[in-house]
Amino acid sequence: MTEPAFFILTALIDNPRHGYGIVAEVAELSQGRVQLKIGSLYGALDRLVGDGLVELDREEAWQGRLRRYYRVTEQGRDALAAEAHRLAANARLAAARLGDQRSPITGTSS
């Protein structure tokens, strides 16, 4: 799962959101590390919809424009949970390996 897809799914866990709402939530969740452009967002959403991880929740007219709201599906929740578990396991492994590293000069952890 790509990092943008991970954060899009995470952004949709609590509430359906429209495009700009997803962009803002992803930026906040990632602490600014993931900055989605609208074009790349909709490409990612199309893939997530095609994979059955996200679905259209509703459409609303707002200031003369149509806003599409998306929500995560149960399959999307399961995929996000599996990815979060995988990432956590990888982080634990790396942290354990880093904890085993000792500086050859000082004999302390680096």
Q: Is residue 51 part of a domain?
A: yes
Quick check: is 10 in a domain? yes
Do the domain assignments include residue 59? yes
d(Cα 24, Cα 19) in Å, to the nearest integer? 9
- Does 103 have pLDDT greater than 60? no
**DSSP label of 59:** E
Query: What is the band of 19 on the pLDDT scale with cuts at 50, 70, 90?
Result: very high
For the domain that residue 13 is a member of, what is the CATH number?
Answer: 1.10.10.10
Q: What is the mean pLDDT of the chain?
A: 91
What is the residue range of 69's domain? 3-99
pTM of the model: 0.84
Determine contact, residues 6/80, Cβ cutoff 8 Å.
yes
Identify which of 51, 92, 85, 83 has the alpha carbon closest to the alpha carbon of residue 70: 51
Count of domains observed in the chain: 1
Q: Is residue 104 part of a domain?
A: no
